[in-house]
């Protein structure tokens, strides 16, 4: 008898979950149905798409940092902004930005593409070696008055390469930035965008990769305060203009 009751409760839980999902889908579909259109026929438009795409050409102005070189480059078939920066004579960094290109563009394999990225000429291209992975969090003040600080999760690791034309080691911080936060996993953006679409809006995104040079095969932990600070500055600059919440 207890076994049958447990089986019944499990079956009932699955039915309740299914009904809940149907209700959520229905809430998203009803407005489109009443207007004679379905949301999956054509995705909602992304606000500020032109400003977001312009990041490829302009890069990002960051307070306290001077841009030494900025140019659009192609990585893995996508246009990125390459931006070499300096805070002072001893503190430099590279900022790579890959903004969404249209309403249907979704985060996918940006981090894989970057393994083949290089800005120097070489006859025998090699991929970056990576180790020391960890997840890191930081917060950024919200642009909405009275709102809680935005939570951003990023992947932090060591990137190094020994090529005929170049050798170097970098502390790397990567995430997908959007108006209400950020995460390195494409699936986290997808679910957040689905919720936004049910509310009649979209969630624009920009792939961010920060590379900070360190000692050859050095430890990345001493560089974390700088990486965190620069990550906060980049996220704040993005949500203040191109990713400004509508």
Phi-psi region at 222: left, alpha or beta (left = phi > 0; alpha = psi -120 to 50):
alpha
DSSP letter for 223, please.
G
Q: What is the pLDDT of residues 119-160, one digit of tens each?
A: 776 666 678 999 999 999 999 998 777 789 999 999 999 999
CA neighbor of 206 nearest in space, from 119, 63, 110, 85: 110
pTM above 0.85, yes or no: no
Per DSSP, helices labelled H in the chain are 2-34, 49-53, 55-58, 110-113, 186-198, 224-240
Name residues whose C-beta falls within 8 Å of residue 205's C-beta, 6 or more positions apart in sequence: 99, 100, 107, 176, 177, 178, 189, 243
Out of 65-69, 116-120, 176-180, 241-245, pick the least confident. Answer: 116-120
Q: What is the pLDDT of residues 165-183, one digit of tens each?
A: 788 999 999 999 999 999 9
């Amino acid at each position: 008898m207890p076994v049958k009751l447990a089986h019944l409760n499990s079956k009932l839980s699955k039915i309740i979950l299914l009904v809940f999902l149907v209700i959520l889908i229905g809430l998203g579909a009803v407005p489109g149905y009443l207007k004679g259109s379905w949301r999956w026929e054509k995705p909602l438009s992304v606000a500020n798409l032109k400003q977001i795409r312009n990041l490829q050409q302009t890069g990002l102005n960051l307070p306290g940092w001077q841009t030494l070189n900025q140019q659009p480059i192609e990585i893995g078939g996508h246009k990125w902004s390459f931006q070499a920066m300096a805070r002072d004579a001893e503190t430099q960094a590279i900022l790579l930005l890959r903004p969404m290109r249209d309403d249907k563009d979704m985060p996918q394999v940006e981090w894989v593409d970057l393994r083949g990225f290089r800005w120097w000429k070489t006859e025998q291209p090699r991929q970056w070696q990576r180790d020391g992975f960890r997840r890191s969090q930081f917060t950024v003040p919200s642009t909405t008055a009275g709102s809680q600080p935005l939570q951003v999760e990023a992947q932090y690791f060591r990137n190094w390469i020994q090529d005929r034309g170049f050798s170097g080691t970098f502390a790397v911080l990567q995430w997908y930035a959007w108006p209400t936060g950020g995460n390195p996993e494409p699936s986290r953006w997808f679910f957040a965008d689905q919720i936004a679409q049910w509310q009649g809006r979209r969630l624009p995104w920009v792939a961010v990769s920060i590379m900070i040079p360190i000692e050859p095969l050095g430890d990345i932990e001493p560089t974390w305060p700088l990486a965190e600070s620069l990550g906060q500055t980049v996220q704040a600059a993005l949500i203040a203009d191109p990713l400004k919440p509508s």
